[in-house]
Chains A and B, each alone.
Chain A
Amino acid sequence: MSAVDCAIVGGGIVGAALADALSEAGMSVALVEARSIGTGTTACGMGHLVAMDDNAAELALTSWSVSLWRALAEGLPRAVEYDACGTLWLAADAEEMAAVDSKVSNYRAAGVRVEVLDAAALYEAEPALAPGLVGALRVPGDAVVYPPLAARTFALRAQARGARLMTGTPAQALRPGEVVLANGDVLAARHIVLAAGVASPSLCPGLPITPRKGHLLITRRGAPVVKHQLVELGYVKSAHGTEGASVAFNAQPRVTGQLLLGSSRQPGVGTREVEAAILERMLRRAADFLPGLDGMQALRAWTGLRPATPDGLPLLGPHPEQPWLWLACGHEGLGITTATGSARLVADQLLGRSSAIDARPYLPERFLGRTPRQVAHA
């Protein structure tokens, strides 16, 4: 096999989006995937494209990425199910409503359009919600996609430009200039990007990525119950608990008329089976917000393993100790949202282009290397 400019190891949505971006820039690309494009953690996620404002770096990457998705939306096949439903952040009490004010200023500073809904406006928008909520923050630019087909679309676009899709091809080892495949073949590449999600540490020991398991459940098709992606503001509290399992209400209307329900987080848990006790907690939390839920028909429940980093931000950029190796992994629950932005940031660095946002907060050197540098959050 002749050498490619870049071998991307991992055909989840991040690797696929990167293959799209690099091939668009004229690089020869090989996308190496152990199973099938977009069928790992990518296929387990909700596909919520959401601007998140836990910190400035997260907001910069997510809001930029969501806007990149919006620019792509026109050209996506219908089966990718891009739906600009927007997000409603639900405030259960006055304390959560007070938190809305600071979110408003965060979002506006980042150029994200938001609206504050009082209780009356909230119930007009979403009459199925339980009584007693005090209001909501509406982020109309957020959207939803169907992740496996979004990933496949990126990969097929790259393939149409000559990229090699090597599916059913697990990588066994990464060496300077070479990806050693499990079948013994060696793929020569000038650059190697590791984008293998939770599997990344097995190919690059020492990466600070651990699984964070999540559960989801989807209903049968039916009349739409809600119109927006609904998330409780308490999500932020529960999503950042670092110890123990937590659940938060997260409900999403699919264009199929199904309702997709989340969410749970189990730090450090890497098993795949559905755990009844966690599912139960998640569904009970959801029923607090959607009182009609118990009567709806559940079709399927499943789990996914989010690749979590200690600070919740992905690793995007060169490995400080192995300059031939680039990283695009550790996206936790924001891999679908930030696939577009992550791909652009890594592509920009590989190509020596300037980026639309500051790439420093996501550089792997914040964790790796002999003298970890303090990274200032912009």
Chain B
Amino acid sequence: MREACDLVVVGAGPGGLAAACHAAEAGLSVLVLDPQSQPGGQVWRGEARKRENRLARRWLDRFAASGARFRPGARVVAAPEPGLLLVEEGTSSLAVRYGRAVLATGARERFLPFPGWTLPGVLGVSGLQVLVKDGLPVRGKRVVLAGTGPLLLAAAATLHRHGAEVLFIAEQAPAARHWGFALQLWRHPGKLLQGAALAASLVGIPTATDAWVVAAEGEARVERVRLSVRGHEETLPCDYLGAAYGLVPNLELAKLLGCEVASGAVVVDERLETRVKGVHAVGELLGIGGVDQALVTGELVGHVAAGKPVPTGLERSWRAVRTFADQLARHDAPREELRRLATPETLVCRCEDVPLQALDGCRDLREARLYARLGMGACQGRTCGAAAEVLFGWTGEDVRPPCLPARIGSLRLPSPPPHTRAS
């Protein structure tokens, strides 16, 4: 199948939706691609149905009325030439021709290996939150959460609301860094309110800074977790452990398209255009910044795509969210101890069963890939790549097609368009 549009938006989270709304409302033909069945991305997952979050509802309604077309279950797998994306939708394939592109591919959790991290019942922090939102029953289940930053509290609140017994929230950041970050929030009144609301809903749940998971233990699945809490070790029996340390941007498509990436973020100009002409990036791709950054940058690009002047208010808002994002990055940076939790037998790459000791003697990611198969499996290094960067300082190699595993048939190029008769 084929599609053509003025603007293709990859990712239907807040950033993608905001860009799509502005562009479509200005009369552009806009196509939005997302692997999920509903728009909303990870942060507004399920909101299209539940309609609980007011901000999400407002944007989802606006998107539905905007005239932008949404293609659910759409995974972009290759970008064979400028202006063309190859997309897989279930068992069918789609070729999308576009004039301009907005990349709004969001972020994923950063997993750092510790003994037992691959046991059943051990998940990411947001991963566990998503499962619960999607219906995993947790009523009466004992849950420990370990990670960093505001997402940790958001996940705890969701689990608490669904009846889970949240035993402990371990924040890896040192106390000084954590409270310093919290004190900066007065500059971002919205964040302060969100934080206060979250904190209120979590009253009574033990929380500590300078705390992280040392190991998860159990026979067939996790039964207990060993934590380091302010220098002391504690063991808690539990049914689920959510453990991940912040987010990393999903840069694969941007890299495949040839966009420049520096310090883990896509490089853009003031119009949020990447180094590849006509390709823009928004939201987490610019450095983890959350919903506010996604909306501001999405709106900004929407104006650019529509050929409208960018309101100065938006530019000001962007600078403000960037400040927040920089503070968040400093807060969420994994502490030194997290690099040393894995034992020689602990798997670093779970797709290819690569233990830490298999990486002995490897000096860079290419050696680790070629000699030990790190990142050579089905997730294409999405999980272990971020871990290897924290553990060893190795950064990613070039991304080659397909940027997600895809049916070979989905890599077929569309036949050339029929010749139009000269008029």
Residues of A within 8 A of B (CB): 35-36, 38-39, 43, 148-149, 152, 167-168, 217, 219-221, 274, 276-277, 279-280, 283-284, 287, 293-302
CB of A300 within 8 A of CB of B380, answer yes
Contact of B366 among A39, A277, A300 (CB under 8 A): A39
Provide the residues of chain B in CB contact with A287, threshold 8 Å: 408
Provide the residues of chain A in CB contact with B412, threshold 8 Å: 280, 283-284, 294
Provide the residues of chain A in CB contact with B349, threshold 8 Å: none
4 smallest CB-CB distances across A and B, nearest first, come from: A276-B80, A294-B409, A148-B370, A298-B408
Provide the residues of chain A in CB contact with B363, threshold 8 Å: 36, 167-168
Q: Can you list 23 A-B contacts (CB < 8 A)? A: A35-B366, A39-B367, A39-B370, A148-B371, A168-B363, A221-B377, A221-B378, A276-B80, A276-B411, A279-B401, A280-B413, A284-B412, A294-B409, A295-B407, A296-B407, A297-B405, A297-B407, A298-B405, A298-B407, A298-B411, A299-B380, A300-B376, A301-B400
Known A-B contacts A39-B367, A43-B370; A301 and B401 likewise in contact (beta carbons under 8 Å): yes
CB of B366 within 8 A of CB of A298, answer no
In the assembled complex, B81 has its CB within 8 A of some CB on chain A: yes
In whole angstroms, how far apart are the Cα atoms of A36 and B370 in the complex?
10
* Interchain nearest-CB distance for A316 vs B (Å): 26
Contact of B411 among A36, A39, A283 (CB under 8 A): A283
Contact of B401 among A152, A276, A277, A294 (CB under 8 A): A276
In the assembled complex, B402 has its CB within 8 A of some CB on chain A: yes
How many chain B residues touch A (CB < 8 A): the figure is 25
In whole angstroms, how far apart are the Cα atoms of A295 and B408 in the complex?
6
Provide the residues of chain A in CB contact with B408, threshold 8 Å: 217, 219, 283, 287, 293-298
Contact of B402 among A39, A293, A295, A301 (CB under 8 A): A301
In the assembled complex, B304 has its CB within 8 A of some CB on chain A: no
Provide the residues of chain A in CB contact with B407, threshold 8 Å: 294-298
Per the 8 Å Cβ criterion, residues 358-383 of B in contact with A are 363-364, 366-367, 370-371, 376-378, 380
Contact of A220 among B378, B401, B410 (CB under 8 A): B378
CB of A298 within 8 A of CB of B406, answer yes
* Interchain nearest-CB distance for B80 vs A (Å): 3
In the complex formed, the residue of B with least CB distance to A146 is: B370
CB of B370 within 8 A of CB of A280, answer no
In the assembled complex, B251 has its CB within 8 A of some CB on chain A: no
In the assembled complex, B78 has its CB within 8 A of some CB on chain A: yes
Provide the residues of chain B in CB contact with A283, threshold 8 Å: 408, 411-412
In the complex formed, the residue of B with least CB distance to A294 is: B409
* Interchain nearest-CB distance for A118 vs B (Å): 30
Provide the residues of chain A in CB contact with B411, threshold 8 Å: 276, 279-280, 283, 298, 301
In whole angstroms, how far apart are the Cα atoms of A113 and B376 in the complex?
36
CB of A274 within 8 A of CB of B406, answer no
Provide the residues of chain B in CB contact with A301, threshold 8 Å: 400-402, 411
Per the 8 Å Cβ criterion, residues 328-385 of B in contact with A are 363-364, 366-367, 370-371, 376-378, 380
In whole angstroms, how far apart are the Cα atoms of A220 and B404 in the complex?
11
Provide the residues of chain B in CB contact with A167, threshold 8 Å: 363
In the complex formed, the residue of B with least CB distance to A298 is: B408
In whole angstroms, how far apart are the Cα atoms of A203 and B136 in the complex?
62
In the complex formed, the residue of A with least CB distance to B403 is: A300
User: Which of B371, B376, B378 is packed against the most chain A CB atoms within 10 Å?
Assistant: B371
In the complex formed, the residue of A with least CB distance to B256 is: A274
CB of A276 within 8 A of CB of B406, answer no
CB of A276 within 8 A of CB of B364, answer no
In whole angstroms, how far apart are the Cα atoms of A149 and B407 in the complex?
29
In whole angstroms, how far apart are the Cα atoms of A294 and B410 in the complex?
8
Known A-B contacts A148-B371, A295-B407, A297-B407; A36 and B413 likewise in contact (beta carbons under 8 Å): no
In the complex formed, the residue of A with least CB distance to B402 is: A298
In whole angstroms, how far apart are the Cα atoms of A300 and B410 in the complex?
13
In whole angstroms, how far apart are the Cα atoms of A36 and B371 in the complex?
10
Provide the residues of chain A in CB contact with B410, threshold 8 Å: 298
CB of B400 within 8 A of CB of A274, answer yes
CB of B409 within 8 A of CB of A295, answer yes
* Interchain nearest-CB distance for A120 vs B (Å): 29
In whole angstroms, how far apart are the Cα atoms of A219 and B409 in the complex?
12
Provide the residues of chain A in CB contact with B400, threshold 8 Å: 274, 300-302
Provide the residues of chain A in CB contact with B366, threshold 8 Å: 35-36, 39
In whole angstroms, how far apart are the Cα atoms of A287 and B81 in the complex?
23
Interface residues as binary, B71-85 with A (CB distance below 8 Å gives 1, 0 otherwise):
000000010110000
CB of A152 within 8 A of CB of B371, answer yes
In whole angstroms, how far apart are the Cα atoms of A274 and B80 in the complex?
9
Contact of B413 among A148, A168, A277, A300 (CB under 8 A): A277
Provide the residues of chain B in CB contact with A299, threshold 8 Å: 377-378, 380, 402, 405
Provide the residues of chain A in CB contact with B364, threshold 8 Å: 36
Provide the residues of chain A in CB contact with B377, threshold 8 Å: 221, 299
In whole angstroms, how far apart are the Cα atoms of A301 and B408 in the complex?
11
* Interchain nearest-CB distance for B382 vs A (Å): 13
CB of B370 within 8 A of CB of A38, answer yes
Per the 8 Å Cβ criterion, residues 384-423 of B in contact with A are 400-402, 405-413
Provide the residues of chain A in CB contact with B376, threshold 8 Å: 300
Provide the residues of chain B in CB contact with A298, threshold 8 Å: 402, 405-408, 410-411
* Interchain nearest-CB distance for A67 vs B (Å): 27
In the complex formed, the residue of A with least CB distance to B412 is: A280
* Interchain nearest-CB distance for B368 vs A (Å): 10
Provide the residues of chain B in CB contact with A302, threshold 8 Å: 400
CB of A36 within 8 A of CB of B367, answer yes
Given A297-B408, A298-B407, 15 additional A-B pairs, CB 8 A = A36-B367, A149-B371, A152-B371, A168-B363, A276-B80, A277-B80, A280-B411, A280-B413, A294-B407, A294-B409, A295-B408, A297-B406, A298-B406, A298-B411, A299-B377
Known A-B contacts A274-B400, A276-B81, A276-B413; A220 and B371 likewise in contact (beta carbons under 8 Å): no
In whole angstroms, how far apart are the Cα atoms of A347 and B390 in the complex?
44
Per the 8 Å Cβ criterion, residues 188-244 of B in contact with A are none
Per the 8 Å Cβ criterion, residues 280-294 of B in contact with A are none
* Interchain nearest-CB distance for B372 vs A (Å): 9
User: Which of A276, A283, A293 is packed against the most chain B CB atoms within 10 Å?
Assistant: A276
In whole angstroms, how far apart are the Cα atoms of A167 and B371 in the complex?
15
* Interchain nearest-CB distance for B342 vs A (Å): 21
User: Which of B366, B376, B377, B408 is packed against the most chain A CB atoms within 10 Å?
Assistant: B408
Provide the residues of chain B in CB contact with A276, threshold 8 Å: 78, 80-81, 401, 411, 413
Provide the residues of chain B in CB contact with A295, threshold 8 Å: 407-409
Provide the residues of chain A in CB contact with B78, threshold 8 Å: 276
* Interchain nearest-CB distance for A13 vs B (Å): 12
In whole angstroms, how far apart are the Cα atoms of A158 and B234 in the complex?
50
CB of B413 within 8 A of CB of A220, answer no
* Interchain nearest-CB distance for B365 vs A (Å): 11
In whole angstroms, how far apart are the Cα atoms of A36 and B394 in the complex?
15
* Interchain nearest-CB distance for A309 vs B (Å): 26
Provide the residues of chain A in CB contact with B401, threshold 8 Å: 274, 276, 279, 301
In the complex formed, the residue of A with least CB distance to B378 is: A220
In the complex formed, the residue of A with least CB distance to B364 is: A36
Provide the residues of chain B in CB contact with A279, threshold 8 Å: 401, 411
CB of A220 within 8 A of CB of B370, answer no
In whole angstroms, how far apart are the Cα atoms of A39 and B364 in the complex?
12
In whole angstroms, how far apart are the Cα atoms of A149 and B373 in the complex?
11
